[in-house]
Amino acid sequence: MSKHENFVCPKCGAHYKLVRMPAPAHAPDLALRCKVCQQELASSDDGNILKYFLVGSARASSRQAAEGRRSEKLTQT
């Protein structure tokens, strides 16, 4: 079972699931970037490579909140 943790982009607030995996012998030294704002993210840590899975941007979560308010209004009328 792979261990994952939450990661929030320090620049734009996008939410990621961060997964650590043992680095392969010939790990490509690629810079990872935030999919939303292109902020450079750490690609390795303590002999592990890091993988980021976008779960939501700050903008997407505020839109969800707005939709929640709209459906509240509909039930009232």
* 17, 32, 33, 52, 57 from 43: Cα distances, Å: 14, 6, 9, 9, 20
**Of the candidates 19, 23, 27, 37, which one interacts with Zn ion according to CB under 5 A?**
37
Closest distance to Zn ion from the beta carbon of 43 (Å): 15
Interface with Zn ion, residue 49, by CB under 5 A: no
Comparison of 25 and 30: residue with beta carbon closer to Zn ion = 30
Q: CA–CA separation, 71 vs 54, rounded Å? A: 27
Closest distance to Zn ion from the beta carbon of 55 (Å): 13
Tell me the chain's radius of gyration from C-alpha atoms: 17
Binding site for Zn ion (CB under 5 A): 9, 11-12, 14, 34, 36-37, 39
